Amino acid sequence: MQFVAFERAKQGTGASRRLRITGKTPGIVYGGAAEPQQIELDHNALWHALKKEAFHSSVLDMELNGQVTKVLLRDVQYHPFKQLVLHVDFQRVDAKTKLHMKVPLHYSGSEESPAVKVDKCLVTAVVNELDVSCMPSDLPEFIAVDLSNLQKGVSLHLKDIKLPKGVSAVVRGSQNNPVLVSVAVPAAEAPAPAEGEAAPAAAPATKGKK
């Protein structure tokens, strides 16, 4: 995706406020060998771009002073209650350096899986985006995950999916194979208490004040 930015001469809270009044949004682009640069963007064009998933998860072409630079959207600040973008941060992309990025997971096919179609299981997406590492040229807009082979009571883990070429998952902590999609059996099939084991007691009713 491509967007147009303009140089921003004035800085500071007052200058940014006046800029927003004129329908512009202040921002900054940083990273790479160049110095951080203050920019401004048309607010309405930016607002509509931010509604598109690809604007958040892919390498963007920023046109500034007639030159196009590869950047990533790194941060967006919204007004607490108005439909207003207060500030945006972009990072320059080095074509020869790996980057870390969160990529959306697009699930499909669960309704056709044996878990849902035959066993009426409840399928729940636990993770909706994945932190990945790759070269900028290999960054996918999203990762498609086919759920048509889900089986009753068997959750889908990270190692169960095939990542695009050149893309590797970044996993932190002790969970090196996290659950992406859980598959739960219907409530009617939940195991009954074992013989001699008491069923959970109902919570006592709370009496109101007279």
- Determine the Cα–Cα distance for residues 144 and 163; give it in Å rounded to an integer: 9
- Determine the Cα–Cα distance for residues 177 and 147; give it in Å rounded to an integer: 17
Please tell me whether the overall predicted TM-score, pTM, comes out greater than 0.85 for this model: no
Q: What is the arithmetic mean of pLDDT over 38-56?
A: 95
pLDDT band at 107 (very low <50, low <70, confident <90, very high): very high
Quote the pLDDT of residue 210: 42
> Do 2-92 and 99-187 come out as alike in CATH topology?
no
**Closest among 55, 63, 56 to 6, alpha carbons compared:** 63
**Closest among 137, 145, 146, 147 to 167, alpha carbons compared:** 137
Name the fold adopted by 2-92. Ribosomal Protein L25; Chain P (2.40.240)
Query: So where are the chain's domains?
Result: 2-92, 99-187
Quote the pLDDT of residue 18: 86
Element (H, E) at 117: helix 114-117
Residue 115, phi then psi, degrees to nearest 5:
-60, -40
Q: Identify the CATH homologous superfamily for domain 99-187.
A: Ribosomal protein L25, C-terminal domain (2.170.120.20)
